[in-house]
Structure 1
């Protein structure tokens, strides 16, 4: 086993960036005394919502149905009784890549009958170059810190033993700052489109931290007093 000294350091980088995508959750609802009527209304409203979202083409990066429920509402809640009505909900999840259309889309979705919109939740893409740059800066800081320690000890780095994300195996989720916006429309159609709401993207904070271990030459552990004593006096 090598007896070379090891210098262990930590490197960190914190970057700010504009969001690249936005997530929306849309809940389309229907209610009626009849189960079939509830399902038909829900199907029609879901179709209109999906058609509206798809009309934005490539601006929408992902469109998927999260869940669908049809629930009977009983007249008596403490025991089984007659069904008073039926409620139906479809949850639609949307990822927007072109943020320039987001305000208009949110407004038009909110103008649909019995429709609730939650979001946007601003985010970076998983493969965002901002994340890669934060990792590079964290590594560079770790290397520089190791060099600084070695210089202070009077030695030099000779190799790297290990480099890993901080707390490997105990990762922390990337922080984000969601800005909630909710709408509930009571009118199914209108004579004119509503004015698009203005949305201000929330700045994304990207953090990267690494832990590194480097081997080094033997340090010159000489105190300032010892160094002065070894220096020949001027004649």
Structure 2
């Protein structure tokens, strides 16, 4: 039997034909990879808050007890403001000791000679307000109930998919326009889209406002400007160009 040697390139070509590879370009085809980004905006309709109580006492048990009593008032106020149970979640409970140091050891390694003077207890919950028009009332209820740590609001779009769909269409239109530009410059036409991949999507983050204990007496019922949030989608597309 006579052995016939077949070049590796020929074997690969035969394999592509045998597998019916739809992504392989034709004999005269050229592949071009294009990245495109689409954006769409919408008015946010959901606000996230983080609220908590910080208490201090000489004894750890006393600090925790006082904190629990005050936090219970805060949670009751949140519920009374019309927030559903599913939108209230405890995110952190802590108890830490407080020390004082002799002036001569301030900033020194290990800071020797410290004296325990008490404990600080904290309890924090996250709150989701699904009607931004009620956000001012919720803030007022929190401060009136004794919350002395408030972070927020973080404004977001409750149903982002329709907005993301608009961003995807924009990205796709951009990519197709660029593909036609390349094809025209090369004296070719866009034959088909070989592949599409979405490399990432998301919203532009909003800075969070922080309200400290000393701000608790401020007018928390002031109106909140929702503005707009921008969501983006990044697409990677491969086009086949042909004569």
Residues 1:206 and 2:207 are matched in the alignment: no
Secondary structure of the residue aligned to 2:225 is coil
Residues 1:33 and 2:58 are matched in the alignment: yes
Give the TM-score normalised by structure 1: 0.76
Quick check: 2:49–2:126 contact (8 Å CA) kept in 1? yes
Residues 1:119 and 2:149 are matched in the alignment: no
Secondary structure of the residue aligned to 1:57 is coil
Secondary structure of the residue aligned to 1:72 is strand
Alpha-carbon RMSD across the aligned residues, in angstroms, is: 2.8
Quick check: 1:19–1:124 contact (8 Å CA) kept in 2? yes
Tell me: CA distance 1:87–1:58, structure 2 relative to 1, closer, same or farther (3 Å): closer
Tell me the residue number matched to 1:7. 32
* Structure 1 or 2: more helix by fraction: 2
> Which stretch of structure 1 is more off in the superposition, 59-68 or 99-108?
59-68
Quick check: 1:69–1:89 contact (8 Å CA) kept in 2? yes
Tell me: CA distance 1:29–1:203, structure 2 relative to 1, closer, same or farther (3 Å): same
Residues 1:98 and 2:131 are matched in the alignment: yes
Quick check: 1:11–1:211 contact (8 Å CA) kept in 2? yes
| Offset of residue 195 of structure 1 | 6.7
Tell me the residue number matched to 2:191. 158
Alignment of 1:123-162 (within 5 A): 123-125=156-158, 127-162=160-195
| Offset of residue 47 of structure 1 | 0.8
Distance in 2, matches of 1:112 and 1:126, equals 31
Quick check: 1:60–1:95 contact (8 Å CA) kept in 2? no
Tell me the residue number matched to 2:204. 175
Quick check: 1:25–1:94 contact (8 Å CA) kept in 2? yes
Quick check: 2:201–2:232 contact (8 Å CA) kept in 1? no
Give the TM-score normalised by structure 2: 0.73
Distance in 1, matches of 2:165 and 2:60, equals 52
| Offset of residue 80 of structure 1 | 6.6
Secondary structure of the residue aligned to 1:12 is strand
| Offset of residue 107 of structure 1 | 2.1
Quick check: 1:59–1:101 contact (8 Å CA) kept in 2? no
Distance in 2, matches of 1:103 and 1:139, equals 40
Tell me: CA distance 1:198–1:187, structure 2 relative to 1, closer, same or farther (3 Å): closer
| Offset of residue 209 of structure 1 | 2.4
Any gaps of 5 or more consecutive residues in structure 1?
A: 189-193, 219-235
Tell me the residue number matched to 1:226. none
Distance in 2, matches of 1:13 and 1:186, equals 40
| Count of residues paired in the alignment | 209
| Offset of residue 64 of structure 1 | 1.1
Any gaps of 5 or more consecutive residues in structure 2?
A: 1-12, 14-24, 103-110
